Structure 1
Amino acid sequence: MAHGRRVERVASMIRREMSELLVNGVRDERVNQGMVSITNVVVAGDLQHCKVSVSIFGSESEQDQAMAGLRSAAPYLRGELSRRLNMRRTPELVFHHDKGLAQGVEVLGLLSKLEEERQERGPVPDGSEEM
């Protein structure tokens, strides 16, 4: 079992190298058509598995295609990580679509809409409660 600090260091190195590989290494058009960014990397304590969370900007179909491209490029990416990180055994990569940013944008849009509606109604008269 690897120590916690080593696991964190390996996760950080994988995140850095994966970001570089997504920009310069992956030639799959499915991955390149959507803007893909790595949001989190979690490495198992035994360093055998790695969950890579990615955020993808684009339409729903572009996001699905980008995820399919990432999954098909996983063996290539694992091999490149092995060469770059000089690890005895490189973790197996599992990609996860992180929809947190999209949900955050949606919430901000709803809040903006509520603020616009509040501005249209005007100020609340004295003595009445705002709902």
Structure 2
Amino acid sequence: MPKEFGRSQRVASQMQKELALILQRDVHDRRVGFVTVNEVVLSKDLAVAKIYITVLNADEAGKLANVKALNEISPFIRHELAKRMRLRHISELHFLYDHSFDTGMRVSQLLHEVNDGADADAGETDDNPQQDV
């Protein structure tokens, strides 16, 4: 019976925490804005880590620039990660932009618009009093 939380999941969870701290405290690159680490997905052999990030207060070009900058300084980030984690080999880091936050905000906006439209329609019908038959 497989374990509920395998080694790769435990390592990915710890890696996510350490990456967040490294990006917050140790990366002093002006090209990197306010970055949030959403998820770390490791390969089965822990050789490659896909790090999904979001960038707040940035347009589409800014998001791509942040991902590009992080991929350029990934050797430094990997070195800092190696200092903090007790692993024989540290994964190769690949930063990717996570579009789920943007998609969620768009869905929320659409639902809000639909809800406002339904409230406006309900207000129009309430103005007409029912006639007794």
TM-score normalised to the size of structure 1? 0.84
The 2-side partners of 1:67 and 1:121 are apart by 44
Aligned partner of 2:40 in structure 1 is 41
Post-superposition offset of 1:64? 1.4
Aligned partner of 1:101 in structure 2 is 101
Aligned partner of 1:73 in structure 2 is 73
Post-superposition offset of 1:122? 2.3
Q: Which moved more, 1:43-52 or 1:115-124?
A: 115-124
How many residues align? The count is: 121
Identity %, equivalent residues: 27
The 1-side partners of 2:22 and 2:44 are apart by 24
SS at match of 2:23: helix
Structure 1 gaps of 5+ residues are 126-131
Aligned partner of 1:128 in structure 2 is none
Instruction: Tell me if 1:23 matches 2:27.
Output: no
The 1-side partners of 2:122 and 2:42 are apart by 52
Contact (CA 8 Å) 1:53, 1:96: kept in 2 or not? yes
* CA shift digits 1:67-105 (9 cap, x unpaired): 111111111111111111132110000111101011100
Structure 2 gaps of 5+ residues are 127-133
The 2-side partners of 1:45 and 1:62 are apart by 32
Post-superposition offset of 1:5? 2.1
Contact (CA 8 Å) 1:30, 1:68: kept in 2 or not? no
The 2-side partners of 1:108 and 1:74 are apart by 34
TM-score normalised to the size of structure 2? 0.83
SS at match of 1:45: coil
User: Max radius of gyration: which structure?
Assistant: 2
The 2-side partners of 1:71 and 1:96 are apart by 9
Contact (CA 8 Å) 1:7, 1:47: kept in 2 or not? yes
